[in-house]
Amino acid sequence: MSVRTGRAATTAAGTPLRRRTDADLPTRLARSAAARDGARLRTSEVSAWLAARRRAHSFRVERIPFADLDGWSFERSTGNLVHRSGRFFTVEGLRVAVGHDPLRQWQQPIIHQNEVGILGILAKEIDGVLHFLMQAKMEPGNRNLLQLSPTVQATRSNYTGVHKGANVRYLRYFTQARPGQVLADVLQSEHGSWFLRKANRNMLVETDEEVQPHDDFRWLTLGQIGELLHADNVVNMDARTVLAGLPTPRSDDSRAPALHTDLELLSWITAQRARHEVRVERMPLDEVRDWHRGPRAVEREDGRYFRVVAVAVEAGSREVTGWTQPLIEPTGRGVTAFLTRRIGGVPHLLVHARVEAGLLDVLELAPTVQYTPENYAHLAAADRPLFLDEILAADPRRTRYAAVHSEEGGRFLNAESRYLIVEADPDSPPDPPEGYLWITPGQLGALAGHARYVNVQARTLLACLNAGAVPGL
């Protein structure tokens, strides 16, 4: 990155960091994405290393009744589920109205967490290739518990010591990063259906220091991460969202133009936000309609969408080795997919301007499909979400990418989606319906470098593209 002052940029330890131009970074990232093996660990060895880290620590997650939560309780006045410290997060109620259609008005529990956490990946050139320091991190909501995470993945309560646990490793590289070290830095939204206006700081920071990885950390190239993104439940959501913000070069940038100019795209997003009237109001959890609280769950009477549950956790590798907490548990596996097609020889993705109650700016660009099929199985075909049945029935030969990935394992229990990129039916109409638009991967990547444009599910699929997991796109 260019430095505008006369002082040389330095590392967190004060040693000079060599200057680079902004134009260098996409090229270096492309070189890293092409490196399918690392200088310190071969890709074929990652699985064994992760297995060894699972054996090295004691991990256990057990469902418990709400009465067994330590430090958490339901407030008498509201029924909200809160922590005695007043920190971490609360589970409360939300009243939502989209327009004036009674069918688009509902109430639900939601996680309210004011804190902005840090999701940071440390980068370093090793033998001329950018490597990324990835962590084998346990999260209680992951079905397989331990997955690859960013170097630092911590809420403000965690890294300021509210939990009274051990210090967060490598934190200083991000809290003390200087401008010459920061390669990417953007505030990104979290899941808009389950979090109320939650955001995390997504950072990529480069160092010239010799960093000796702790046993739970390893240096991997972007290409190695791309290979691992083909496996189910290996690369966690927080790592994926950081990788989505990388300024990688796009094959479509040097070819025929996109169907819509960047200005037309930004105007379309603005128009979509202006046409949706969304009213959101926090409310007591005890008053949420169609939901009831039992000894072990807060859930809907019809059993759809999700439930709030409680767990007790043991994790030998975490800053705190034992705790209890509430989690949101979805009632089915999601399907999240982009349709893709070439327009004028250039790959395009069909994005959806998706309204979610918890988003700060009404809507963000989402994949073509982002639904849990079981929640809509009772509906007639004409009433089911657009494109869902096309994705579910797609010829496997049209599938360019497919893998199951966990959502945020620190707040959600067994929350998984099957992520797909599927070639559109060549006989389908070229003009999408209202609320959908064909844009290039390059345009989506550029928007992901800014806050509140690309939702967390779309960022997962963009991370797959950035890491070279989907050749030709």
Does the pTM surpass 0.75? The reply is yes
Q: What are phi and psi of 151, to 5 degrees?
A: -55, -45
Residue 215 has what pLDDT?
96
What Cα–Cα distance (Å) separates residue 225 from each residue in 33, 234, 286?
8, 9, 44
| Predicted confidence (pLDDT) at residue 49 exceeds the cutoff of 90 | yes
d(CA 10, CA 175): 14
Higher pLDDT, 256 or 392: 392
Kind of pairing, strands 105-112 and 90-98?
antiparallel
| Predicted confidence (pLDDT) at residue 19 exceeds the cutoff of 70 | no
Residue 316 has what pLDDT?
73
To which H or E segment does residue 465 belong?
helix 456-466
Q: Which of these ranges, 28-37, 92-101, 247-256, has the smallest mean pLDDT?
A: 247-256
What Cα–Cα distance (Å) separates residue 321 from each residue in 58, 239, 315, 467, 468?
9, 22, 5, 33, 36
Residue 22 has what pLDDT?
65
Cβ count near 29 (within 10 Å): 24
To which H or E segment does residue 270 belong?
helix 262-275
To which H or E segment does residue 282 belong?
strand 278-283
d(CA 441, CA 265): 13
What Cα–Cα distance (Å) separates residue 471 from each residue in 33, 252, 310, 401?
11, 13, 41, 9
pLDDT tier at 7, thresholds 50, 70, 90: very low
- For 75-139, strand residue ranges (E) read 81-83, 90-98, 105-112, 117-126, 129-138
Tokens of 364: 């963000």
Q: What's the average model confidence in pLDDT over 162-178?
A: 82
CB 139 within 8 Å of CB 318:
no
What does pLDDT average to over the chain?
Answer: 91
Residue 249 has what pLDDT?
74
| Predicted confidence (pLDDT) at residue 160 exceeds the cutoff of 70 | no
Residue 256 has what pLDDT?
67
Residue 5 has what pLDDT?
33
CB 59 within 8 Å of CB 136:
no
Residue 102 has what pLDDT?
82
pLDDT tier at 429, thresholds 50, 70, 90: confident
| Predicted confidence (pLDDT) at residue 355 exceeds the cutoff of 80 | yes
Higher pLDDT, 137 or 317: 137
Residue 407 has what pLDDT?
97
Alpha carbon of residue 292 to chain centroid:
29
The predicted-structure confidence for 186-230, as pLDDT tens digits, reads as follows 999 999 999 999 999 999 999 999 999 999 999 999 999 999 999
